[in-house]
Structure 1
Amino acid sequence: MALKSTDMAKNMAKKLDGSLKSESLPDRFGQSSKSTSSKRERAAEIPASKLVPVNYRLPAELVNRLRDHAMNHDGGINQMVAVALSDWLDTQSTNK
């Protein structure tokens, strides 16, 4: 049974999409400068504690101040926020 032209177009699109996804980015997009470690290797470098992504809405001025301060912090913004929240929670539990 012959394929319809729409079915042939769908199959060709799937084949093209698969080949585009399997190709790596050219060197000009900065892939060559990055290490070629896989996601598993990077995940193995994360400490034993599970990191959970969290989204919050904060005022823009506060976020800008936070970014500026985090530039000088050793662990980056994630470490700085974790320490700040931990310290604040510790003070809240002692005030009760």
Structure 2
Amino acid sequence: MKKSDMEKKKAMKLAGNMRPAGTGAPFGQDAAVTLDRRDQRKLDQAAGLVPFAVKLHSDLVAQLQAVAQARAIGMNEVVAELLLKALADQPK
């Protein structure tokens, strides 16, 4: 590594350290609780949720996103609702 590259990295590190830390929540408001992946996975498992990956065409995903955005709910809820409805409509 060149000396100039090392100096650039040092400068970037110093600039990053000089940035102010994020401010807390305004008075009277609770700070948003952020969970790490492990904690989120434990909560999902406790709720009986299982990760289920599928590959869909981009136009179908865009339609799902539009429905989720219009109804102000998450993609998981939209997909679960549509799957339940489609499975209920299937002849037995």
What is the TM-score when the length of structure 2 is the normalising length?
0.51
Candidates 55, 63, 67, aligned match of 1:65: 63
From 41, 50, 72, the equivalent of 1:52 is 50
1:80 aligned residue (78, 81, 84): 78
RMSD: 3.4
Query: Paired residues, what number?
Result: 66
Task: Tell me the secondary structure at the aligned position of residue 47 of structure 2.
Answer: coil
Structure with bigger RCO (C-alpha 8 Å, 6+ apart): 2
Residue 49 of structure 1: CA displacement? Answer: 3.5
Deviation at 1:75, TM superposition (A): 3.2
Give per-residue Cα distances to partners, 1:50-90, cap 9 Å, x unaligned. 11111111111111111111112243111111011011111
Query: What's 1:13 paired with?
Result: none
Matched, 1:91 2:69: no
Q: Structure 1: which amino acid aligns with 2:76? A: N
Decide whether aligned partners of structure 1 residues 34 and 53 sit closer, same or farther in structure 2, where only a CA change above 3 A counts: same
- Deviating more after overlay: 60-69 vs 35-44: 35-44
> In structure 2, how many angstroms separate the alpha carbons of the residues matched to 1:47 and 1:65?
28
Deviation at 1:47, TM superposition (A): 9.1
